[in-house]
Structure 1
């Protein structure tokens, strides 16, 4: 099988900056949605032929850590191939570096579609909004690891599907969790000054319903910010007792430590994709204790999953096939989880594997387990073209993310309006 082989050293303390930068850049739409008028893609998997998938990820530059998503996917695909493939077919996965540059992403997409005739493309981040029209024109399935609300626009962009949940849904579920814990909460939002925070606030407002007037303050800041003390002081002065944030990396650590230093102890609900142990809580020390997050994915660095069958399978696959990836990296697990979802969809298609059929099968996947998701968080197709709509409230106790209460199902609660 042809594979790109990229090895990544451990990035140490510098790695914690990536979550903040990724959240900031995921809010960028990345220019025009018509990067090229290239030729047809083809790529349907003839019976018995390999299923070819092209991956475009940032293996270089400021977001290089997100190449771990690709490593996780690669590890799962190679494990599947070692076990006999998908209905007897191998998956051939090739990854190219885009450095989180929209023009390089577009170039990679053209290469995969026009030169290599791949069956599907997978990639990371908000820059993918710029190639949706191209993928639609070429008729090639396109999967994106991002939470941008625009990626739920499946009627206008029928070939693009997002793996990460819509951040609006997470906002609505966060509101539900807040009201369960404190019906009288006075809520403030602290986030980047881009459309990610706008979408998060839309979800919060929807989830709060007729209690939306309890959202009393909003503070935004540029992605380059290194000090959030002014925003924190204004939230405190406004009477906020519950903060919804996306604190990650050094600025997130310093924000938590500043609140601890001034003796302000609001309930904090942090964005799921900014709450990994290796990039936040392990570095914030006691200041992170009591932090809340509605989450859907296990954290392989969390001691509570040390004996978990799914995490053990993930770590075994990464150690054998992960091309040097860390078996405790939540991003690697995220990519692995997507690959597991894709294989489940492919297996549901039997021998009739076509590009058009893949999107249809994705959109009709019934409740299915994924080894990487939290207990009772199932994959199930929804009207937004995504498979994850359930979360669990978790609280950091200083050593582990304690799960509190039952699963919160956005589909059952009707939070996709």
Structure 2
């Protein structure tokens, strides 16, 4: 029987609880007792379902603090609401940097939101790391040396789908539904790159939607009318569920490729109808909590216990919470590597020095690596297909960059 504390020890007690003697000095966000970090999440607005990431990260840090903190210091997270509105993101990050004086920004949610603050944070030499976004530009270490993403990149994930269609599906007629922002455009750019020279011929219709639109029903109706037999959805959770459900209502059954950020069984496929979701192809890099193959998995057992103790109101089956816990664990590993040198410069140096970091909720074989010229922590994905109950993995683990 694997106990909570034993697996928690594997996850967070890797020498991080050694009391620090060095004075904190005048470093922003650091005292002898505390490390202050900040972020924004959409606690209100159309993408509020994703704000569970902020709550789950706060819960993880509470657990670490209960066990003594990191090098004798407790972690305090200021997670502010930006409603997924870039102007609000700017306002809140200015507050975090200029008024709250955080050590760094860790885990801010969203592509357009992070895009609104990336130049500001880099100009002020503030660490802007482990973002809840897979935009490929976060790996542009020359333009943004103070920024590091966390997700596999959207562009590279899109490229995997496009390459699969190009290599395995004859007579494909492709329709695209994409969120009308940097998030959607990054996926689509990668998808077209994967299709290669045949992209213009294969794509018969491409439509976008705004996150503020109440439904995407009209887009799905138009896409069906195009005669497409393949659908690529570069969407977020609400629109993805609506598209799956509407396609079923229209008796339209294309081979549906759905981005992993919107493939939650609990929050997308179940509301859309599990029967309607059979055959959808996506990617994964995390263990699925509802997958029977992980029922006895040590990391999953730890995670269930953690959620029960520290975030009982959270949905243990929502992958956004797994992502959040993994982002927070990655940050704690960086703090461990920093020791008592908690300057912003050293925080970035250590965030750029992850070596084969394994986390209990990642699929077997997937490890985090970063370097001075490599700001992409996760570069591997596994293709999966939904069978009505779980996501079944198929093919090899693929490089996503």
Q: TM-score, normalised by structure 2?
A: 0.81
CA contact (8 A) 1:291 1:396 kept: yes
Q: Which residue of 2 aligns with 1:256?
A: 244
Q: Which residue of 2 aligns with 1:3?
A: none
Instruction: Specify which of 285, 291, 296 is matched with residue 285 of structure 2.
Output: 296
CA contact (8 A) 1:73 1:339 kept: yes
Q: Which residue of 2 aligns with 1:34?
A: none
Change in 2 beyond 3 A, CA 1:108/1:395: same
Q: Which residue of 1 aligns with 2:353?
A: 364
Residue 73 (structure 1) shift: 1.0
Q: TM-score, normalised by structure 1?
A: 0.78
Instruction: Specify which of 249, 267, 272 is matched with residue 279 of structure 1.
Output: 267
SS at 1:114's partner residue? Answer: helix
Runs (5+) with no aligned partner, structure 2:
1-25
Relative contact order: is structure 1 or structure 2 higher (C-alpha 8 Å, sep ≥ 6)? 1
Residue 320 (structure 1) shift: 2.0
CA contact (8 A) 2:174 2:230 kept: yes
Q: Which residue of 2 aligns with 1:187?
A: 174
CA contact (8 A) 1:275 1:293 kept: yes
Please tell me whether residue 226 in structure 1 is matched to residue 215 in structure 2.
yes
Instruction: Specify which of 69, 83, 95 is matched with residue 85 of structure 1.
Output: 69
Q: Distance in 1 between matches of 2:306 and 2:219?
A: 45
Please tell me whether residue 206 in structure 1 is matched to residue 193 in structure 2.
yes
Runs (5+) with no aligned partner, structure 1:
1-40, 412-417
Q: Which residue of 2 aligns with 1:162?
A: 149
Please tell me whether residue 241 in structure 1 is matched to residue 229 in structure 2.
yes
More off after superposition, 90-99 vs 69-78: 90-99
Change in 2 beyond 3 A, CA 1:373/1:101: same
Instruction: Specify which of 384, 387, 400 is matched with residue 394 of structure 1.
Output: 384
Tell me the number of residue pairs that the alignment of Structure 1 and Structure 2 aligns: 369
Change in 2 beyond 3 A, CA 1:389/1:215: farther
CA contact (8 A) 1:370 1:378 kept: yes
SS at 1:395's partner residue? Answer: strand
Q: Distance in 1 between matches of 2:219 and 2:310?
A: 46
Measured on the aligned residues, the alpha-carbon RMSD in Å equals: 2.8
Change in 2 beyond 3 A, CA 1:57/1:85: same
Instruction: Specify which of 373, 393, 406 is matched with residue 396 of structure 2.
Output: 406
Instruction: Specify which of 103, 122, 126 is matched with residue 136 of structure 1.
Output: 122
SS at 2:270's partner residue? Answer: helix
Residue 398 (structure 1) shift: 0.7
CA contact (8 A) 1:244 1:270 kept: yes
| CA deviation vs aligned residue, 1:302-325 (integer Å, no higher than 9, x gap) | 454333222222232222222732
